[in-house]
Structures are given as structure tokens and as C-alpha cells.
Structure 1
Amino acid sequence: MQEYINPESLQHFIQAAFLEDIGEGDHSTLAAVPPDQQGSAQLLIKENGVIAGLELAKTIFHYHDPEMKVRLLLQDGQCVQAGDIGLLVSGKAASILTTERLVLNCMQRMSGIATKTKKLNDLIAHTGAQLLDTRKTTPNFRLLEKWAVSIGGGKNHRFALYDMIMLKDNHIDFAGGIPQAIRATHAYLSKKQLDLKIEIETRSLQEVRLVLDTGGVDIIMLDNMDPQTMKEAVGMIGKQYLTEASGGIDEETIVAVAESGVDYISVGALTHQVKSMDISLKALKGHRQTAN
């Protein structure tokens, strides 16, 4: 499990999510279901993919009602097919109903992300490139989106603005150029006594050469370059710095990019262009329900 996934971070997310969804109360459930009514339900997978969020679902159920019993039938990261059952939950029917939508919202999106991540990862498995996510995430949902990327086999890039220096094109332009941006960054880190890795974006072979002449970075980003230009850039850089390809990379282009020799490939579409997986929570009434 990733270091940013911990009891404190999960509690903060779940509290905020329930505040948004329940507010003063789940009046539909309070009105229609007796408070002592017991029930059970199963998580029904309705399409093929990679399941993600089962451990989170268990945490959500227990956070709302510690007496709920949850049995996980699958594991996060497992390939699933339509008709599979992910978990069984039993306890107060009201608790199941009130937690249902939050569990599904999280799992559907996380599973969609994990599925897309695995698909892209499989395409570049024959190379040494590693697939990275980005900060192009849903506000207040980044924690789970990045978790889903890792479940799907991807590697998390920086989590936020505070844990790494990334000098993009606008930073460079506002700073007055690549050498100025790098020098100012080192001065800032020294003054603040911070130990952060530095990545810098380049948009041409000329800019790559300028970074090599200046030095003082950890990763060179090759942004919106065609695969042949990336290959030339990787040759120029050699083993001096790690390299990251970025810029509109998708299923059609990722193989050629990976074969250029880059160390990392960042794909924003992992989190901002994803179709959620079709999953539902179905009440059980004395018999096991299956997919239609």
C-alpha cells in the first residue's frame, strides 16, 4: 500500500465524503427502513476489467458502522469478469443503504483507472519504461485516483506541489530561461533547507542541450516530442539523468514512445479520461443474485 494511504488520510476523505452525501441524514432510509432491520448485499461486477477499491470499501463500511460484517471475495488488482462477486456485506440494512453510493462511486472510478493503467502498462511491458500518473486528478479525490493507478500496476509521480520541484514551460518562461530557473531553484532549496528532486521540462533538442550544459537536475522531461526526437534526446542524455516522456500520449503512441528508451512515461489520461467500471451493490433476499 502506498505511503499516502494511511488511517488518517482515509478518515479525512471518508468524513468529507459522508458530509457531502449524508448531510443531516439519509432521509430515504430513515423513512422507509426500520432501524433494527438486518440485511445483506453483494458487490456485483458487470464488466471485465481490473477491480480496485475493495479494501477502501471495507474501510468505508466499518467507518460508518463498525458492526457491519464484510467479506472480500476478490483482491484489489485482480482481473475480473462480468458476473463476478467482489464482496459480501451484512448488518443493519440502513447502514448498507447509506454507505452504498459512496462505496460504488469510489470503486467504479478506481476500477476504471486501474483497468486503463493495466492496459497501457501491458502495451509497454517489453520495454524498460515505467508508466506514471500526473496531477491531472479530480479535486479532493487524488488520494484514491493515485491509489488506483498503483493498483493497476502504474507508478505514482509526485503527489502534489510540495513533494517535488517540477519546472514546466511556464516556470522557465517566467524565470527568464532554463539556466535562470535551475539556479533560482537551487538558491530557494538551499535557503529553505529542502531536499527535493528537480525535474525540468524541455521542448526541443536545443533545450535538452541547455539543461545538460547547466546541470543540477534529476529528471529531464521530454515534452511533446515525436519518438525519433525522443530517441535522439535519450542518446544525448545518456545515463546522466533520468528521462520522462510527456504530452498527449495515448494507446496509439505509447509503444513507440516507450521504445525510444525513456525511463518514464507520464499519462494524464490515466485519471482524467477514464470510463468508470459498471459495478452495483445488490440486496440479497435469501438467495444469491447473479448478473443478468
Structure 2
Amino acid sequence: MLSYNQIEPVVRMALAEDAPWGDVTCESLIPVDAAATARLVARESGVFSGGAVFSAAMTLTDARIRVSGLIGDGSFFEAGAVLAEVTGPAGGVLQAERVGLNFVQRMSGIATLTARYVAETVGTAARIVDTRKTTPGLRAFERHAVRCGGGSNHRFSLSDAVMAKDNHLAVLTAGGRDLTEALREVRTRLGHTVHLEVEVDRLDQIEAVLAAGVDTIMLDNFSIEQLVDGVALIAGRALIEASGSVNLDTVAAIARTGVDIISVGALTHSVRSLDLGLDVGLYMAHELAHEVELGSGVHRP
């Protein structure tokens, strides 16, 4: 789960970006004694993520705003469902609206897409995982959304594990140095809890990498036939990750090859935000004045 310490600075930064010197529209148009109730409504079906982030956008704008009835992160919902209710000063609700929606729409889009990938792997042992292809500053939010969709997380940062890719290996073996020997030396310098993963792009690289005692081998841009051969060759001696050319049309076949992990950059780098809206009713001195639908997911810029 996301912690408030992760949520608060990111949301504050987004609110400051959106209203650096206040919201001149609300300050000009909305009476200071106007109160509002609002509903977060789904315009399409999906998997929810970002409830705590949406709430923080509201309460950090105005501590008097209350968010209730939030559905749980990871919950599936149909179009038309009410996902949360908001009450409080109208100016604050309207000011926080766009930022709150931006977060929850994107996070729910990631969760929904992840759930589609996970559904394609049912009946196999393969796990769908994300990559570091995340929006700068939003990695914790986006990776939380992947988990909400039933996926798993890869290493969070460059500090978490050793992952030797083709360019790393080219430098490591410069001058004709033996790959196995070089990787064994790396292994001896690592702490016993540090995971070592190595990328290969050809079947004939596998034995040399396995001989170094690596934990995971990434089979990069292998065909289905090559993945089958790679799984047979590795034969349980290391975890097997498939990467590259993964999409909703190919992921089921990749999962059936017997790989342990399928990394999918598309979960975060090319996802479509889900269409959610905030339907707001305005009240004066707690008396119903009029109801307006602001439909922020579609109608508000």
C-alpha cells in the first residue's frame, strides 16, 4: 500500500503547479459560504486505484473537505458506479477537482490495463510485472496501480538489484574478457541478499550466464519458439523473465512457454487514463440552491 509519506509531497507539488497563486476562477465566481457535495462517477468500467491519492488532493486543498464511500483499490466497477463522495467548501472541491481526477484516472487506467494482461496469463505460472518506464516522480503511484490490477513490481530503482543488460555486458567484457568469469567476479562483490539478473538476446549466451550463478535470466525479444527452447535449456536453474514485444495479442502465448516473469513496459508508459468524472452539487448555507454537473472527466479542461 502507498503510505501517506509517499502521497503527500507529490500531491502538494501537483496542487502548487495547478494553483500557484490560488484559483482565480473560484475566488471570482464561487461565494465563500457555498458548500458542495460531489460524486466520483465512472464513465466506463474498470479497476480502481488511487483512492488515497484522490482524498489527499481534496483534503490538502482544504482540510474541511471530507471524502467518504471510497471503493477499495483493486475493486472492479461498472460504468455509472459511484466510486466516492465528497463534501465541503465548494471552492476547495472545485479547485482540487482536476488534480484529484488526474491522479485517479491515470492510476485506474494502469490498474485496468494490468488486469487485462493478468487475465491473459490465467492457467500459467507467469507473473506480469512492470518496468522502470514510469512517469518521473510518479513511480510509487504507478507501481501501486499495477499491484491493484493484479500485477507485480520489478525492482523499484537502480539501487535495488543488479540487472546487467546488453550495454553493461559490452563494457564488462571489453577487450575479450570471458563473460562467465566477469559475472562470477561481480557475484563475489555483491551482498548475499542482492539479486543478480542478466539479459541475453541469443540462446548461445545462456550457458555462459548460468555458469556464473545468476538469479534471473532475461530472454529479450525472443520468439515463442526461442522462449520454449530457452526455458528447456535453463531447466529451473534460474528464474526466467521474458521481455520485449509483449502486448495483449502476444502475452498469452508467451506465458504458455513456461517463463516465470513477463515484464510489460506498456503498463505505465503508454496507458490510457480511465474516464472518471466528478458530478458536483452546490449548496448555499446548507440549503439546496441548484445542482450542476461539471463532468470534469470530459467537460472541464
Same fold per TM (> 0.5)? Answer: yes
Distance 2:57 2:184 in 1: 47
Distance 2:42 2:266 in 1: 23
Q: What's the CA shift string for 1:110-156, capped at 9, x where partnerless?
A: 11111110011001011010100000111111111111100000001
Please say if 1:58 is aligned against 2:55: yes
- Range 57-66 or range 164-173, more displaced: 57-66
Distance 2:181 2:109 in 1: 41
Q: Tell me the SS of whatever aligns to 2:211.
A: helix
Aligned position for 1:141 = 138
Please say if 1:48 is aligned against 2:49: no
Shift of 1:173: 1.0
Aligned position for 1:186 = 187
TM-score (norm 2): 0.88
Q: Which has the larger radius of gyration?
A: 2
Aligned position for 1:208 = 206
Aligned residues: 285
Q: Tell me the SS of whatever aligns to 2:44.
A: coil
Aligned position for 2:273 = 276
Shift of 1:256: 1.0
Does the 8 A contact of 2:280 with 2:292 survive in 1?
A: no
Shift of 1:289: 6.7
Q: Tell me the SS of whatever aligns to 1:208.
A: helix
Please say if 1:24 is aligned against 2:21: yes
TM-score (norm 1): 0.91
The 5-angstrom pairing of residues 151-166 of structure 1 reads 151-166=148-163
Aligned position for 1:71 = 68
Q: In the alignment, which of 73, 77, 81 is matched to residue 78 of structure 2?
A: 81
Q: What's the CA shift string for 1:135-192, capped at 9, x where partnerless?
A: 0111111111111100000001111111111111111112116336524533553xxx
Q: Which amino acid aligns with 1:206?
A: D
Identity level (%):
37
Q: Residues 21 and 275 of structure 1: is their aligned pair in 2 closer, same or farther, counting only changes over 3 Å? A: same
Q: Point out 4+ residue stretches in structure 1 off by more than 4 angstroms.
A: 285-292
Unpaired stretches in structure 1, ≥5 consecutive residues:
none
Unpaired stretches in structure 2, ≥5 consecutive residues:
283-287
Distance 1:60 1:284 in 2: 19
Q: What's the CA shift string for 1:13-50, capped at 9, x where partnerless?
A: 11221222121211211222223321111111101111
Please say if 1:105 is aligned against 2:134: no
Distance 1:178 1:46 in 2: 54
